[in-house]
Every structure is written in C-alpha cells, then in structure tokens.
Amino acid sequence: MSTTASKMTYAEAACAALREAMQADPNVIALGEDLGRGGVFGQYRGLQQEFGADRIIDTPISESNIMGSAVGMALAGVRPIVEMRVIDFALCAIDEIVNQAAKNRFMFGGQGRVPLVARMPIGIWSASAAQHSQSLEAWFAHIPGLVVATPATPQDNYGLLKSSMASGDPVIYMEHKELWGTTGEVDTALAVPLGVGKKLADGGDLTIVTWSRGVGICQQALEQGAFGAIKPDIIDLRTIWPWDRAMVMESAARTGRLLVMHEAVQVAGFGAEIAASAAEQTGCKVKRLGSPRIPVGYAQVLENESRLSVAKLIAATQALLKQ
C-alpha cells in the first residue's frame, strides 16, 4: 500500500477531500442543513468543530435560499460547497441552479464565474419511497454550463470532489445515498480528473458502460463469475458531463455491442445519449438497462422493481449478445 493510501469509507473520503481544501484555501466554505452535526450521512463529521460555524454553516430549511446564497458567494469570490441533503430536495432550488449558476459565465462574457459544488445524493434509499430515491443526473447533464459528477467508490469520491472544487465552474456532484458506508483504499496522491472514465474489466464480447451504483453491480457480477464465458469490457464513466467519449467509442467500435446501465429511469435517461452517440459513430448494436418509468415504491417488492441487480445485468447482456 502506498504511503499516501489508507482505508476509508465513501463518506470519510469526501470529508477528507473537503478538509484538505478548507485547510489550503480560506475561501472554501460549506453551507446546508445539519452540517454542524456532521450531515445526514456523516460526510461533514468534525468539520464545524475544526473550522467553526462561519465556514461550516448551518442554514434554515430552504433549498432555494441555500443555493441562491451560494451563487452570490461564488460570484463574490468564495468557493462554496452546497449541501442539498438529497437530490429530491434540490428540486426546490432549480431556478438558482439552472438559470443563475449555469448561465452566468456565458451571459456576462466570462466576467463572473460560479465555482460552487452542489452535493446532491442520488439513487434509491432503502424504504424511503418515491420522494427520496430519485436519480436525476440526466436533468442536469441537459443544462449547458453545468459539470455533472457521479463517484462510485471512496477513491473517486475523494478525487472527484477535489477536482470539482478546483474546476471553477458549477459542479452537480452526485454521491449515491447507499454508498456512504462502503470502504476502499484511497490514495490521496492520485488525481481523478473530470471527464475521464475508468476501466473495470477488459474484454472483447461487448462493452458495458455504467456509473454510480451500477459500478457495484458490475463488480458483484465479476466477483461471482456471473458472466460465465462472456468477456465484457466494463467502463465506469465517473462523470456524466463531460463524459469520456473517447474511451467509450474505442471500446464500442472494438466489441461491436454496447450496453448502458443506470439506476435512473430508462426513459430519457443519460444512457440514451451514450447509446445514440455510439450507434452514430461506430454502428455498434446498443441496449439500455434502467429502471421502469414508475415512482420508486416503499414496499421492498416494489422498490426492487426499480433496483439494478446482477440478474438483470446478465439478462440484458445475454439479450444483447443474441442481437
């Protein structure tokens, strides 16, 4: 193990990245609900005690106020980390994100920059039902001016958060609600740039592209030997915008088949953009695997209809290979 590496949880990795940024730059602050007690998932644990309530700011329960304040701070030279608790609540701040943060640099000829990071945990949250279990990365990828990141591992939650804080543009930062306690080795010397995917497996039978919770499903399938004799090329996209077109296109052209898998609703999901782009550029056969267009249910049997699984992945893989 490298001298700069250690075991961390997904939450601890993000906390470490934010701590380092705050130590290095007094203009880095965080604001949101319940940050003083460490945040809903412990991703701010100990930071208010270390940096004070003027830099780890507890706010009223008003997402539009939180985001509007952060946009103003960013334009004034502060580098805010904005905590939305879960992406479902961020819908109360859509105007501030879409019409203010995303457009300012363009509308004013680059005179203003909005270097904020909006943390919006995505994905199914067990037994939390329809208003707390959404994956809306495609919404924000559709908006010019926004960067969209979806870390799947502790290493990437550390590295992508550091890159996001340094980017100078508004970043929609989407951690998964059920990954906070997962553990992994985190090398603090390893850079994880925005827009660069990661290979999880090398193979020539088909290309599988995924992100966020889908990465864990692919890893489970690999560990269980569920693919059998099938040798997939598996890519963790890591960032939705910009996305690593070069890596995806090289793989899709070589294998001739592309499966895109995401926990978001399949209809109009970002997988459609990847599939269409690959089909246009390489002529490969494509298939998508996402959730049905239904609200996530509270009962487990209903919730499971929206969840990804190894069984669903293998079924989609086999169906694509028969095309």
Give CB contacts under 8 A, 24+ apart, made by 47-52: 47/15, 47/18, 47/19, 47/22, 50/19, 51/22
Return the closest-CA partner of residue 30 out of 122, 146, 161: 161
First to last CA, the chain: 44
Cα distances (angstroms) measured from residue 52 to each of 18, 24, 35 = 14, 15, 11
Could you give phi then psi for residue 262, rounded to 5 degrees? -150, 155
In DSSP terms, 173 is beta-bridged to 119, 149
Q: Are residues 307 and 292 in contact, defined by beta-carbon separation less than 8 angstroms?
A: no
The pLDDT, as a whole number, for residue 104 is 95
Q: Are residues 47 and 16 in contact, defined by beta-carbon separation less than 8 angstroms?
A: no
Instruction: Tell me whether residue 94 is exposed, middle or buried, using C-beta atoms within 10 angstroms of its C-beta: 0 to 12, 13 to 18, 19 or more.
Output: middle
Count CB-CB contacts under 10 A for residue 168: 13
The whole-angstrom separation of Cα 61 and Cα 68 is: 13
The pLDDT, as a whole number, for residue 323 is 84
Domains of the chain: 5-187 (3.40.50.970), 198-321 (3.40.50.920)
What tens digit of pLDDT does each residue of 210-268 get? Answer: 999 999 999 999 999 999 999 999 999 999 999 999 999 999 999 999 999 999 999 99
Residue 1's pLDDT band (cuts 50, 70, 90): low
What tens digit of pLDDT does each residue of 135-182 get? Answer: 999 999 999 999 999 999 999 999 999 999 999 999 999 999 999 999
**% residues pLDDT > 90 (the chain):** 96
Residue tagged active-site, from 132, 142, 176, 262: 132
Residue 319's pLDDT band (cuts 50, 70, 90): very high
Six-digit token pair at 59?
Answer: 């706010």
Average pLDDT over residues 64-81: 97
Residue 132 a catalytic site member: yes
Residue 314's pLDDT band (cuts 50, 70, 90): very high
